[in-house]
Amino acid sequence: MVTMNPTSQNPQVSKSPDLQINARILGIETSCDETAAAVIENGRLIISSLVASQVELHAQFGGVFPEVASRQHIRTIYPIVDTALQQAHLALSDLDAIAVTRGPGLPGSLVIGMNVAKGLALASGLPLIGINHLEAHIYSAWLHWPPVPNGARAGIQIEPEPRFPLLVLIVSGGHTELALMEDHLKYRRLGATLDDAAGEAFDKVARLIGLSYPGGPAIQKAAEEGNPKAFSFPRAWLEDTWNFSFSGLKTAVLREVRSLQKVRRDLPVADLAASFQEAVVDVLVGKTLQAADEFNAVEILVAGGVSANRALRAAIHTQAACQVHIPPLSLCTDNAAMIATAGYYRFLNGEHDGLDMDVLPNWPLSEL
């Protein structure tokens, strides 16, 4: 049962309760280096979800090359949207709204998804909803696939919906944010990183120790063979604030690498990876649990690319005294199902945007 703040920012949208609860939303995501489209129903059920990753294209540059990303989005976006509709066995006329990432993200990437979404909205007459990518990461924890009797997902339980007040940790390649979600669409920003995002720290440290891009999965894999106590890297607790900082940790790894390189040829990559990963996980989990306690959150939600990290998932599940929601692995990194589900809750709230909407490459959660 969905309970929503009844205030409508845009009363023109039809508000028939049946139509809205069963609404089918097309989501489009092109904020960084994944081209994605998805159709979801009832805010939670994934009918189709496709992600075309550009990871291999960017690996040669050691990070995302913005112009290459935009060009690749142009090539991929129409086939991806077509396939998402085909796999859902739906036409645009069967849908209720189109949700598209408006920001934050790379300007040249965002405009590709935005222009395609506007074209589809214009052609179909469907409402268009611009979505904040960080909010969408949070809503990825509401998603589930249709239950299936056989196959890889057989027997997977549908998680209960997160309950409010909910302590939210977003850890992605571009952001690390701690927020209190008091109800659907209502956020109180508690803190954020003062320098590198957690994912950015994984990517930069991976490069320092000779691992490939993206660094998060590479560090996780290397760390499995390493000793997390081999090096005692610093933890920036930033007492009395809910902020994070990872640049000192990155510099400490760099110093260690330089001094190791003076005395030996091969770096102890697994030990460096495991010790770095443990330092990041300690701070992320420690501050999230402290904040949940301080703000009387009843549950915790962790989302964003870094929430795919096995050590982080295990540590927070073990240490938290309350229910912790973390999306399934394939929904942690960028996808369009999360854009569609955030779009559903905005749609239910009576919101939509005009065809004059522009992208917002810097759009903090606090401005929602």
Q: Report if residue 199 touches ligand KG4, rule: CB under 6 A.
A: yes
**CA atoms of 354 and 112, how far apart (whole Å):** 17
Q: Scan residues 152-191 and list those touching ligand KG4 (CB under 6 A).
A: 172-174
**CA atoms of 68 and 66, how far apart (whole Å):** 5
**CA atoms of 65 and 88, how far apart (whole Å):** 32
Q: Report if residue 113 touches ligand KG4, rule: CB under 6 A.
A: no
Q: Report if residue 41 touches Zn ion, rule: CB under 5 A.
A: no
Q: Which one of 63-71, 92-100, 306-314, 348-356 is the stretch in contact with ligand KG4 (CB under 6 A)?
A: 306-314
The least distance separating ligand KG4 from the CB of residue 78, rounded to whole angstroms, comes to 22
Q: Scan residues 162-201 and list those touching Zn ion (CB under 5 A).
A: 172
The two beta strands, 299-303 and 323-325, are parallel
Q: Report if residue 306 touches ligand KG4, rule: CB under 6 A.
A: yes
- 22's CB contacts (< 8 A; 6+ apart) are 41, 42
Nearer to ligand KG4, 85 or 141 (CB): 141
The least distance separating ligand KG4 from the CB of residue 331, rounded to whole angstroms, comes to 10
- 201's CB contacts (< 8 A; 6+ apart) are 246, 247, 249, 250, 280
Q: Which of 33, 177, 196, 334 binds Zn ion (CB under 5 A)?
A: 334
Number of residues that bind ligand KG4 (CB under 6 A): 19
Give the number of residues written for the chain.
368
Sheet hosting strand 128-132, strand order edge to edge: 45-53, 34-41, 24-29, 97-103, 128-132
Cβ atoms of residues 350 and 262 within 8 Å: no
Nearer to Zn ion, 69 or 222 (CB): 69
**CA atoms of 93 and 263, how far apart (whole Å):** 67
Name the β-bridge partners of 110. Answer: none
Number of residues that bind Zn ion (CB under 5 A): 2
Nearer to ligand KG4, 181 or 273 (CB): 273
Binding mask 20-49 for ligand KG4 (x = CB under 6 A): ------------x-----------------
The least distance separating Zn ion from the CB of residue 191, rounded to whole angstroms, comes to 19
Q: Report if residue 343 touches ligand KG4, rule: CB under 6 A.
A: no
**CA atoms of 140 and 190, how far apart (whole Å):** 20
- 62's CB contacts (< 8 A; 6+ apart) are 207, 213
The residues that touch ligand KG4, with contacts defined as CB under 6 A, are 32, 172-174, 199, 202-203, 214-217, 220, 304-306, 308-309, 333-334
Q: Which residues bind Zn ion (CB under 5 A)?
A: 172, 334
